[in-house]
Amino acid sequence: MEDLITEFRLIAYDTNSKPLGLKEALITLATQLGRPLPSVKRILLLHQLEVVQLHIPTPVILNEFCTSLASISINAKYVRMRTDLPPIPIRRLRILTLLQLDGVIQWQMFQATDGRFSFDCLEVFNLVFTVNYKKKLQFPGFPYAIEFPRLNTLRVRNSTGVYSGLFTHFLVNVLNELKIEDDPGVFGQIDWRILQNVQRLEVQHPTGKFYETTYPSETAQTLFAQQSSVSEVHMLGPIYYPMPPSIPWYNLITLNLAVAIAPKELLTSMIARLPRLEKLHISCVTMKKDNAQQTVYPDLENPPEAPETTTGEGDGAGNEIISESLKSLEFYCHLEFDMRGFYELLCHIMCVRRIVINNAYIRPLRNMLFDKYGLKRYIQFRTYPGTASS
């Protein structure tokens, strides 16, 4: 009798956030029947799921999507082959992820209303592009209006691969989180005005690996030139960035930054211009410009001059204060560490209470600070992870 079964019709109801484990369910069904079902040619899914993943080819025929669909993750290559898919409702969609984008976004797979695509409830939009076109298309590249009025989280990998002006489209949005995974070589093509209304910024390299090339430092610096209301920034690699002598991000509270060269003068200048900065984490290749050829920015052998620093009151020992907010400083140097320069930096930041640094530098710094301040100044030193035996 089982050999006569040619079609399964499934009605799937689910209210949790887990994707449908269809493969596992079918294996369980075949096990319960005691044998495989070789005559089944298709599976018709009458679907009421609010969370859907369309990542890999399956024989499932989707009759319709749940009108209350809240989250969908789509492999663009797979969906392009599925011409039988019903339109995807977007009226209540809150999370949209588009993976393996090797061309323009197929907006027509979504339900349009009155000739426009309005993602009225969308809060999170994730985009992963896998190609680099020589001729870019202006985003969104579709004749219908496409709107994201409530979007608060935008994550994009390889944003300049297919489109130009992708971030320009989202300048009207106030973003809680922006994640950009792009090579520093294309930073000049990005509309950095997107930073104006961002609270949390994360910048990474799309390969997730150290990149074996060099860049003009001026191109990578375009990121730091844009004014922003951002309060939290994470740029810890694996690629390194040029040290910005000044960043107009005056609301910044937390900064995690991987830089090629971190000389004392540029560190001092940057910290002095961030009046609300409380937590600073710097990972650098070197503190000496003589090592510039060992970084991805060889032109930093002649770095820009640090602008004049406006300081506050002194520390009572002849040093002017550059920050009254910085409480925690984590610092890692791969090559040449400037012990004297780092010590002089600490003399300008009296509010620092916690320092995480290479283990080998802790005792000499403690001794230098004690010789200057005695017991008047207490700093909690911690060993930077992985440097305990250095």
Q: Is 114 left (phi over 0), alpha (psi -120 to 50) or beta?
A: left
List, for residues 41-96, the tens digit of each pLDDT value.
555 454 555 777 777 766 566 677 778 889 999 998 888 777 778 888 999 999 99
Contact 263, 239 (CB under 8 A): no
* pLDDT of 18: 55
List, for residues 236-263, the tens digit of each pLDDT value.
877 889 888 889 999 999 999 999 999 9
Strand partners, 47: 12
In the numeric block, the tokens 């910044």 are attached to 252
Question: pTM of the predicted model, to two decimals?
Answer: 0.82
* pLDDT of 73: 92
- Cα 92 to Cα 193: distance, rounded to the nearest angstrom: 29
* pLDDT of 237: 72
Query: Which residues in the chain come in under a pLDDT of 50?
Result: 2, 15-16, 44, 46, 310-316, 390
* pLDDT of 15: 45
The token pair at 388 is 């305990």
Q: What DSSP element (H or E) covers 13?
A: strand 7-14
